[in-house]
């Protein structure tokens, strides 16, 4: 079967970095058409720089990388240096990138690519706030029916929030953008904290990354060593939660994951619950189902896939 064509929309972020590395290490499964950077974990100038650092670390300097939106649709940007460090990629000491960004805005790249590729053959993989995706849908409503699927990291239901008591960071930063995406009618798969908090980089798993003894393996071990602090302190977690790599792993091996097709709506008006993903998991409303909401994974299988693929780079 031909590899699946994807565009990764990203705010690197150590976990974004691992997700991108897994994708770039899996050419038989995924054809990465390009990366689009969005403001999120750190400001846009850093997320677009980090995207290039990651591609150079993987030795894949021909991947087109575009800069997108530098702030949410209608709110001030909220960043997460407290989790990812000042650079957004704290942990390893990686060289500044030499590869250039592509000219043009990421939103136009998304629109043009969806229009140029055969309808239904491109999957969007948002790993950060949904600002670029929502802006593309608003600017070019015709692309909605041409998008094969949106497989995104974001939201939380049983796990509740990580940036507020009720909201996960990606959705919290730009709830209006998320509302547009979840009401688009596009086939959506959601990898929320409910599942990503079960993908923890325990010490044996981190040791396995380091034991690859490659620049990629060592960098991933160093990234997750740094990135685990926030979750260990807040939740007493056994290691860093690999949020974004769940998106890539789902695309490669969906049978590692289980979930339910439900209605998911986004809180945009209440400041108390801004950005909450209200998932009708038990079907208590007549709201139309619009997303596959993933709740569980085979964590050992996930880390076996990830480590095996990272060894290729």
Region 37-56 residues binding Ca ion, contact defined as CB under 5 A: none
Q: Which of residues 170-209 bind ligand RIB (CB under 6 A)?
A: 170
Q: Nearer to ligand RIB by C-beta: 192 or 259?
A: 192
Residue 168 binding partner per list ligand RIB, Ca ion, none, with a CB distance cut-off of 5 to 8 Å that depends on partner kind: ligand RIB
Stretch 63-122 residues interacting with ligand RIB (CB under 6 A): none
Task: Pick out residues in 34-63 that bind ligand RIB (CB under 6 A).
Answer: 40-41
The count of other CB atoms within 10 Å of the CB of residue 67 is: 23
Which one, 18 or 305, has the nearer CB to ligand RIB? 18
Task: Write the DSSP assignment of 197-263 as a string of letters.
Answer: TTSEE-HHHHHHHHHT-SHHHHHHHHHHHHHHHHHHHHH--SSEE-TTHHHHHHHH-GGGEEEEEE-
Cβ closest to ligand RIB, residue 121 vs residue 237: 237
Q: Give me the DSSP letters along 12-69.
A: --HHHHHHHHHHHT-TTTEEEEEEEE-SSSS-HHHHHHHHHHHHHHTT-TTS-EEE--
State which of residues 157, 169, 226, 293 lies at the interface with ligand RIB (CB under 6 A): 169
Nearer Cβ to ligand RIB (78/311)? 78
Span interacting with ligand RIB, options 9-17, 117-125, 134-142, 218-226, rule CB under 6 A: 9-17
- Nearest by Cα to 126 from 97, 141, 147: 147
Could you say which of 89, 124, 127, 266 contacts Ca ion (CB under 5 A)? 127
Residue 274's closest CA among 174, 153, 177? 174
Kindly name the residue from 84, 105, 197, 243 that is annotated as catalytic. 243
Q: Which residues are catalytic?
A: 243
């Amino acid at each position: 079967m031909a590899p699946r064509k994807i565009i990764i929309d990203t705010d690197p972020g150590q976990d974004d970095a691992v997700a991108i590395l897994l994708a770039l290490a899996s050419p038989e499964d995924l054809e990465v058409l390009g990366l689009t950077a969005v403001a999120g974990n750190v400001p846009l100038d850093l997320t677009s720089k980090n995207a290039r650092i990651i591609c150079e670390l993987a030795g894949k300097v021909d991947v087109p990388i575009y800069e997108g939106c530098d702030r949410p649709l209608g709110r001030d940007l909220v960043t997460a240096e407290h989790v990812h460090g000042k650079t957004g990629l704290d942990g390893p000491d990686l060289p500044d990138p030499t590869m250039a960004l592509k000219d043009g805005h990421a939103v136009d790249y998304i629109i043009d690519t969806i229009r140029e590729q055969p309808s239904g053959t491109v999957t969007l993989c948002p790993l950060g706030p949904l600002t670029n995706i929502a802006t593309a849908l608003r600017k070019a409503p015709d692309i909605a029916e041409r998008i094969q699927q949106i497989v995104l990291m974001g939201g939380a239901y049983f796990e509740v929030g990580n940036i507020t008591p009720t909201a996960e960071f990606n959705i919290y930063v730009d709830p209006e953008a998320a509302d547009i995406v979840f009401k688009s009618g596009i086939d959506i798969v959601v990898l929320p904290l409910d599942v990503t908090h079960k993908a923890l980089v325990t010490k044996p798993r981190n040791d396995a990354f380091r034991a690859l003894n490659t620049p990629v393996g060592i960098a991933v071990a160093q990234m997750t060593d740094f990135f685990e602090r926030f979750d260990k302190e807040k939740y007493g977690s056994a290691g860093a939660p690999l949020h974004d790599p769940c998106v890539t792993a789902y695309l490669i091996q969906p049978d590692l994951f289980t979930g339910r097709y439900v209605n998911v709506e986004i809180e945009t008006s209440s400041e108390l619950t801004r950005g909450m993903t209200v998932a009708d998991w038990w079907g208590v409303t007549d709201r139309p189902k619009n997303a596959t909401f993933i709740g569980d994974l085979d964590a050992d299988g996930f880390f076996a896939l990830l480590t095996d693929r990272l060894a290729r780079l």
